[in-house]
Chains A and B, each alone.
Chain A
Amino acid sequence: DQQVKQNSPSLSVQEGRISILNCDYTNSMFDYFLWYKKYPAEGPTFLISISSIKDKNEDGRFTVFLNKSAKHLSLHIVPSQPGDSAVYFCAAKRGYALNFGKGTSLLVTP
């Protein structure tokens, strides 16, 4: 049973524009949400997180928005750069266990 869903397997964006990656979850008990970025042949690396008591968290070019009533979060990357091309995983926690989505492959074209 997939509790964290990333419904877009891929996304292509031009360099300099905004990338928006979406994630939906079904378990209202999740209290912490994270985004990980993964390059080929490497493990996922932590990007940004947000607690369920907040609705926005910013870190440089990356902003995560949380809409608890809709059980939806999104990652905004502004401006997008070619080095951002990777697979992005949304993950949600209740306690210690991370529940991952299937990932969205982002391609940023020059």
Chain B
Amino acid sequence: EAGVAQSPRYKIIEKRQSVAFWCNPISGHATLYWYQQILGQGPKLLIQFQNNGVVDDSQLPKDRFSAERLKGVDSTLKIQPAKLEDSAVYLCASSLWGDYTDTQYFGPGTRLTVL
């Protein structure tokens, strides 16, 4: 079974530029999550999708971050414009249904450096 795929793996941009990350979840997984992991911290949930609907985006900085999951499969996360403090690893995860016993499977992440 193929795992969660993410691209690109690494991205370096200057502040105020835009960037987009892509995620392809495990086939058949209805729930998709985006996390931000700052160096030395645990992952922090940014947004959760159930199929193509948003379940929770309470921690997404909506003035600069946006995410979509068209057709309930792939997802993109965008930052526009980027700030220095956005430097982090962005992790995508997926799970079957999203209930409390569901295991979340993580992709390898995209490491973003904002200069």
Interface residues of A (CB under 8 A from B): 4, 31-32, 36, 41-46, 49, 51, 89, 91, 93-98, 100-103
Contact = CB atoms under 8 A, between A and B. Distances in A.
B21 to A, nearest CB: 13
Given A96-B31, A97-B56, A44 B100 contact: no
User: Chain B: interface residue count, which band?
Assistant: 20 to 34
Binding site of A, secondary structure by majority: helix, strand, loop or mixed?
strand
A91 B42 contact: yes
A43 B42 contact: no
Contacts of B31: 96
A32 B103 CA distance: 11
A96 B45 CA distance: 11
A94 B108 CA distance: 25
A46 B105 contact: yes
Contacts, number: 54
B4 A100 contact: no
Interface of B: 4, 31, 40-45, 48, 55-56, 91, 93, 98-109
Binding site of B, secondary structure by majority: helix, strand, loop or mixed?
loop
Nearest to B106: A43
Given A89-B42, A97-B56, 16 more contacts: A4-B42, A41-B108, A42-B109, A43-B108, A44-B106, A46-B105, A49-B101, A49-B103, A96-B31, A96-B48, A96-B56, A96-B98, A96-B100, A98-B45, A101-B42, A102-B41
Contact of A45 (B41, B98, B106): B106
A89 B107 CA distance: 16
